[in-house]
Structure 1
Amino acid sequence: MSFRVLASLIIFCLFSLVTINSYALLYQEENKTEKPKAPEQQEATKTADESSDASKVITKKRPEIFAPINSLLQQEQDLTHYLTAEKITPMLAGAQDFITIINENTASNQKGVMILLPDWGMSAKSSNALNYLQKVLPSQGWTTIAIQPPGIPLGYPSRALKRSIQLEEDDKTLLAHKERLTELMTAVMEKAKDYPGIFVVVSKGSHAILLANLYSTGKLQSPSAMVMLSGYMNTAEQSLSFAKVLATSEFPVLDIYLSREQQLATSAAKIRKAQAVKEMKVYYRQTELHNNQIGYYPEKALLRSINGWLKSIGW
C-alpha cells in the first residue's frame, strides 16, 4: 500500500469520527428533557418569584410632583437673574415689595420721568413697546421707571351663572386690585420726585384702564400726561363705565391702539372715543398704529406718536 493511499485512509477515518461525534451531541441536545419539579418545589418557586416582584414594587419610589411656581414670583426671579443689580431697584408698597427697572437720563437736558406699567400677567421686559421705550427714551432726556406689575387678579372675570352676580364679584375683585395698584404707584411717584421735570405714565392693557380710572377719580395724583396702549376690560359694561369716567377727567390722554388688535381692545377704543367726543374732552387724542403682527407695536411709529403728542400739548 502506497503512502498516499494510507494518508487518505487516515484522514477519512478522522473525518468520520468527528462527524459521528457531532451527530451524537446534537441528538443529546434535542432529546434532553428537564426533569419535572415536584408540586412542593413548584409552589416554593412561585412564592419566591411573587415576593421578589412585590419587593420591586415597594422599593420603586413614585416621583415627587411639585406644584407650579407662582407666575409673578417666577417673573421676578427671571428679572433678578438676567439683569444686573444696578438695573434693578426693589421698592416697598404697603407691606409688600416689588421690583422696578430704572434707566436714568443720559442726555444733557432732563425732560422728566416716564413711568412704564405693563398689563397684569406680563413681565417688566415682556412688552415690545415698553421694552423699546426703556432703551431709547434715556438718550432723549427721559428717566424711565419700568414696574413689575401685580399678577392677574384671582377669580377675574367671574364665572357665576347670573349676570348680576358676575358684575358684583368682578367689582369686588377689581376694587382689591386697584388698592394694590394705588399703593404701588404711590411708591413709584415718590421715587420719581428724585428726578427733575414732569412725569408721564405709559400703561398697557387692563392696567391702563384701571390706572386712568384711579387718576380720574382722584385716588392718585394725576400725571402731567398719560399714554394708554391697547386699553381694554373684559366686559362691555366695564369698558363703558371706565370710558365715561375718563371722558370727564382733566389730565391729557394719548389713547393708542393697533389696526391688528384683539377684539376687546378694538371695541373698547371705539367706546372711549365716542365718550370723549360726547364730553368734549380737550386734551384727548386717539391714534391708530398700523402693525403686521397682532399685539406687536411698531416701535418707531410709537415713539413718533408719543413725542409729537407731547410737543402738541406743550411738553
Structure 2
Amino acid sequence: MTSPAQAQLYATSQSATIPESEISTITIDGKDTTVLRRSWSGKNQFGLMVIVPGSEDHKQNAGLIGYLRHQLNPKGWATLKLMPPAGLYRPNFATPSEEIAKEGQSQITLPAHQAVPKFNSEQLLEIRNFQQSTLTETLSQLADIGKPYPGARVLIAMDDSAAMVTHLLYEQKIPMPDLLVLINPYREHEHLVDKANQRKSVSEELVMMSVPTLDIYSADAHPLAIKTAQMRKQYNQIKPNKYYRQYFVHLSLSNEGGWEEVLDRIEGFARVVIGR
C-alpha cells in the first residue's frame, strides 16, 4: 500500500521535469518518438512492464499511467511508457463559407439526442489502421530498450489502445506477452467500422487467445468500456481463473485511491501468473 507521504511525494514529482536518464528515442515512420524508461528498484527483478496509454492521453508523467510507471519499480518491475498512438488527423468538419446554406434552403437536422458525427466509416478505418500500424512498429522496436531487464513481459494498455493491442495480439502482429492487462478497453464507433469489415469484438478476440488477461474497468470509464464489460466477462469466464480475471474499480481513476487499487490488482495477478 502507498503511504500518504509516498502519495504526496509522487503527486509533487509529476510537475518536475523528467530526468534525461529516463528518456529513450525510437524512430517510427521517419519521426523520433519518446519512450520513458525506469528500472526496477529494490531486491526483486521480475521483468518488464510496457505501458500503452489511450490515444487521447498526452500527459507524459501524470495520472494513472504516470503512477504505475513509478510505483511498479519498487515492486520489482522495470517500466517502459509509450507515447499514445496518434491518429492521422482530427477533422473539424468546418463548413466553407461558400457552402453555408442561404436563406430558404433546407438545413440538415438531427434528433436532439443524436451527436453530430465527427468521422465517416472510411475515415475511422483509415485512422485506426494508421494507429495500429504505428503501434505495431513501436512495440517491435522495444526489444533493444528492454534488454537490460530480463524476465517476464507484461503489456498494460488503456482505453482505446487496449482494444488496439488486443486486436494486434489476436492477429499475431506483435509478440505475445506473459501477461496482458487491459484497463477500460473499448472500440469507438465499433458499429461503423468493425461490422462493415467483419472484425470480431474485443470479447471475441480475447476468448480465442491463451494469454493470461487481467481486465480492469472503473466507474468513470468510457461508456463503451462499461457497456461491454459484462460481455467480456461472459465470453471469457469459461477460462480458468489464472487466464482471465475481471475487476471493477469502484473509485475514480482520476484520484490516487483508484490508482492504488489498480496497482494492487496488477501486482497480485502478476504474482499468480508468473509465480513470484
TM-score normalised by length of structure 2: 0.73
Q: Does 1:175 pair with 2:175?
A: no
Q: Percent identity?
A: 23
- 8 Å contact from structure 1 (residues 257, 269) kept in 2: yes
Q: 1:121: which partner in 2?
A: 56
**CA–CA distance in structure 2, aligned partners of residues 191 and 108 of structure 1:** 21
Q: 1:140: which partner in 2?
A: 75
**CA–CA distance in structure 1, aligned partners of residues 127 and 257 of structure 2:** 30
- 8 Å contact from structure 2 (residues 218, 253) kept in 1: no
**CA–CA distance in structure 2, aligned partners of residues 297 and 184 of structure 1:** 31
Q: 2:3: which partner in 1?
A: none
C-alpha spacing 1:141/1:260, structure 2 compared with 1 (3 Å): same
What secondary structure does 1:298 align onto? Answer: helix
Question: Which structure has the larger Rg over C-alpha atoms?
Answer: 1
Q: 1:16: which partner in 2?
A: none
C-alpha spacing 1:222/1:117, structure 2 compared with 1 (3 Å): same
Cα offset for 1:231? 0.9
Cα offset for 1:296? 7.4
- 8 Å contact from structure 1 (residues 203, 229) kept in 2: yes
TM-score normalised by length of structure 1: 0.65
Cα offset for 1:295? 8.4
Q: 1:109: which partner in 2?
A: 44
- 8 Å contact from structure 1 (residues 229, 256) kept in 2: yes
Q: 1:73: which partner in 2?
A: none
Q: Which of the numbers 255, 258, 267 marks the counterpart of 2:227?
A: 267
Q: Which of the numbers 218, 235, 239 marks the counterpart of 2:189?
A: 235
The residue correspondences of 1:191-210 to structure 2 (distance < 5 A) are 191-210=145-164
Instruction: Give the superposed CA RMSD.
Output: 2.9
**CA–CA distance in structure 2, aligned partners of residues 245 and 172 of structure 1:** 21
**CA–CA distance in structure 1, aligned partners of residues 244 and 168 of structure 2:** 17
Which has the larger share of helix?
1
C-alpha spacing 1:225/1:123, structure 2 compared with 1 (3 Å): same
**CA–CA distance in structure 2, aligned partners of residues 274 and 168 of structure 1:** 31
Q: Comparing 254-263 with 111-120, which one deviates more in the overlay?
A: 254-263
Structure with the bigger RCO (C-alpha within 8 Å, sep 6+) is 2
Q: Which of the numbers 254, 265, 268 marks the counterpart of 1:305?
A: 265
**CA–CA distance in structure 2, aligned partners of residues 295 and 109 of structure 1:** 28
- Unaligned stretches of 5+ in structure 2? 1-13, 94-109, 111-116
Q: 1:281: which partner in 2?
A: 239
- 8 Å contact from structure 1 (residues 121, 152) kept in 2: no
What secondary structure does 1:305 align onto? Answer: helix
Cα offset for 1:206? 0.3
Aligned length: 230
